[in-house]
Amino acid sequence: MKRLYLFLMVILLCSSLQIATAFSGDPNVIQISRSIEAAASEAGQKTELWIPAEPLDFDSLFSWDLTITKKSLVSEKDAAYFAIIEPGATEKTLVRRLFTGNGSLIVPKGTRYKVLLSAGEYSNFFSKSGAEVQAKLQYTEAVVRYTQGDQPYTFRFEASGPDGFTDWTWFWTGRQPSSGNPVTIQFDRAGKMPVILEAKGGANSRKFYFDLEVPSLVAMNPKVSPLQGTVELQVNAEVNAVVNYGQKANYTWDFGNGTILEGPQTSYTYTQPGKYFLTLTAAVDQYTYRKSWLVEAAPLNIRPNPIVAPLTTGPVPLEVTGNVNPQITGNPTDLQYTWDIAGELVADATFQHTFTEPGDYKIVLHTVDKLHPKLPIPDETIWVKALPPQIGLSPKASINTGVIPLTVAFDAGLEVKGSPSDIAVHWDFGDGQYSDQAKPVHIFKEAGEYDVLLVVSDRLHPGNLSSAVIKIKAEAPQLKPVATASTDNGLIPFKVNFAAQTSITGSPSEPLYRWDFGDGATSFDQNPSHTYTREGTFTVKLVVQDRLHPENKAETSLQIVTKMPKLRLTASLQPTSGKAPFTVQCRAWGDKEGETSPVLKYLWDFGDGTQATTPDLQHVFEKPGTYTAIISIEDPVLGLKERKSFKVTVK
């Protein structure tokens, strides 16, 4: 087992100055405290000290701030603690703490308490250890009481400290020390004064340190408001001062314009604009204190802000009303208004007037402040524009685009605001025709695009007019052709009868026809016939053009399909073998698709140098041999051909 040692921890002692205003609430007491730090941390260690160090001849405030840290201790044999013990025949424990915390108590005059810090004993596996016990201790070791004298910067001091200390010496900065208790001293100025107080009792001595804040003769926190504003500007002034050392102060306020008032509190009204230095002078005995402020009194500002309603521009009769909404910076005021309405004067804040003739009219507002007649207030000018009766147009046409003859009903959509008026309406239809009616009906007979001009004027007010344009599009008669064919497919030669019909909207119109049959042939007949001699598919176009309106065209189309007819040949040759001279009987006949009695050419070629052009005949082969007899037919118009062959053996 490791041997345990008792270690007495170093006790740190320090003194510090504390003013009672911060702690005791008594403004005439200075408490001087001593701070001590003590600790114990080894197993079984106990630290003991006495508070206060010597008995005091006054009751002392003792406070502590305790921290107990048990680290990672496993088993507690003897718990760590902090204790305050009152000594005597039987010791009395006043405070015992096992955990971190703080507290305070009063140590009675002439009494000392024993403070004990015990680290305790804890097992940590194979060793012993103590908790960490730390304490910050503080107690009042001396008290200085002071009062102000009846002379500037004069004080009376009296100290209380350790019991038995009777020899006191006071050390002042820049002055000779003073001995005794109590003592009286007069400082030469205000401000912070360091003081050292030395107390002796027998062989013992103590030094105490504190700072004294020596107040001035007069502590002023004057309040002056407002410092800016417009006349009439009332400024309120208050000294808000504390006079020390039993003195009396005289206060004088100089407002910077020759006005001087006295007293701790006053009020003054600036009636003239300008910048003024307001100065406060406080006189105490032979001492004088001054403070100044800049006061800016701005001129009285008045804007009449006239309002004319409902409109300043409009057709006659134009009725307007006027009123004033003044914007005033400063007071008091007594405003008088005069309206000049195109030469007519109205002495009032409001007016009502009707303008019956067109023109530009000037309304001027004159404003005077009867309390400040010399104050310049600019005139306010408002212009009113009275217009002639307003002509509003919303012209409409019953139709804007159509086929001639195009009948259109027009409406000027006329609206006149204001009076009197004498309205004249004039329409120019753009085709040489005119109308003075408000709602005319006009027929456009020629195709074209027309700008129809509407002009409305007021005979009572020359130059007062309004105009508008309506666009009209008159189109030529509309052509809608229909093309038909007697048949649309067949064998060539293929004859087709065509017919054209045209529906016409509008008049007059003379249609012309042009056919394109698709095979290079054309026709200008309305109902032509055409024969196709080639096989194919042909697009036939019909174009109809209005002779009276050449730009007016319409077309349509259809298709024709033609095919080449087929030939069919039937033939026989009997017999096909024998001895020379060998006679054979030949027969042939041909058919043509689409015809019952076609005209065909026949040709027999017997291969022995002889030919025949009849379909039926007899032929004699004179010599032995093998011959190929060919029968062929031909359409002489279309050039169609067909053939057939027979093999003949002659022995």
DSSP calls for 83-107? EEEE-SSS-EEEEEESSSEEEEEEE
Query: Residue 13: is its pLDDT beyond 50?
Result: no
pLDDT tens, 149-202? 988 899 999 999 998 898 999 999 888 999 999 999 999 899 999 999 999 988
pLDDT tens, 106-129? 999 999 999 999 998 877 666 788
Domains of the chain and CATH, by start: 1-215 (2.60.40.10), 218-298 (2.60.40.10), 301-387 (2.60.40.10), 394-456 (2.60.40.10), 478-563 (2.60.40.10), 567-650 (2.60.40.10)
Give 3-state DSSP helix, strand, coil % of the chain, rounded to 5.
0, 65, 35
Give dist(CA 430, CA 427) in Å, integer: 9
What is the H or E stretch that residue 23 is in? helix 20-23
Q: What is the pLDDT of residue 11?
A: 32
pLDDT tens, 569-598? 999 999 999 999 999 999 999 998 888 888
Name the residue among 613, 594, 595, 596 with its Cα closest to residue 604.
Answer: 613
DSSP 3-state assignment of 20? helix
- Write the burial class of residue 75 (CB in 10 Å: 0-12 exposed, 13-18 middle, 19+ buried): exposed
DSSP calls for 273-325? -EEEEEEEEEEETTEEEEEEEEEEEEPPEEE--EEEES-SEEESSEEEEEEE-
Query: Residue 539: is its pLDDT beyond 80?
Result: yes
Q: Amino acid identity, residue 425?
A: V
Q: What is the pLDDT of residue 6?
A: 29
20 — pLDDT class (breaks 50, 70, 90): very low
Query: Residue 3: is its pLDDT beyond 80?
Result: no
> What is the arrangement of strands in the sheet containing 441-444, beginning at the earlier edge strand?
396-397, 406-411, 441-444
Give dist(CA 320, CA 311) in Å, integer: 7
Q: What is the pLDDT of residue 548?
A: 85
74 — pLDDT class (breaks 50, 70, 90): low
Query: Residue 22: is its pLDDT beyond 60?
Result: no
Most confident range, picked from 224-228, 490-494, 500-504: 224-228
Name the average pLDDT for the chain. Answer: 89
pLDDT tens, 347-405? 999 999 999 889 999 999 999 989 888 888 999 999 999 999 999 999 999 999 988 88
Residues 6+ apart with CB under 8 A from 33: 15, 16, 18, 138, 139, 140, 141
pLDDT tens, 255-277? 999 999 999 999 999 988 999 99
Give dist(CA 473, CA 449) in Å, integer: 4
Q: What is the pLDDT of residue 312?
A: 85
- pLDDT average, residue stretch 477-484: 91
Q: What is the pLDDT of residue 27?
A: 64
Phi, psi of 110 (to 5 degrees): 80, 5
CA torsion, ordered 615, 621, 627, 633, to nearest 10 deg = -10
Query: Residue 561: is its pLDDT beyond 50?
Result: yes
Q: What is the pLDDT of residue 76?
A: 74
Q: Could you tell me whether strands 167-172 and 154-160 are parallel, antiparallel, or unpaired per DSSP bridges? A: unpaired
Q: What is the pLDDT of residue 77?
A: 80
Give dist(CA 304, CA 59) in Å, integer: 77
Phi, psi of 202 (to 5 degrees): 65, -130
Look up residue 22 and give its DSSP letter.
H
Phi, psi of 447 (to 5 degrees): -70, 145
Query: Residue 606: is its pLDDT beyond 90?
Result: yes
- pLDDT average, residue stretch 84-88: 94
Q: What is the pLDDT of residue 75?
A: 67
Residue 296 CA neighbour count, 13 Å, CB half? 3
Q: What is the pLDDT of residue 9?
A: 30
Q: What is the pLDDT of residue 124?
A: 66
478 — pLDDT class (breaks 50, 70, 90): confident
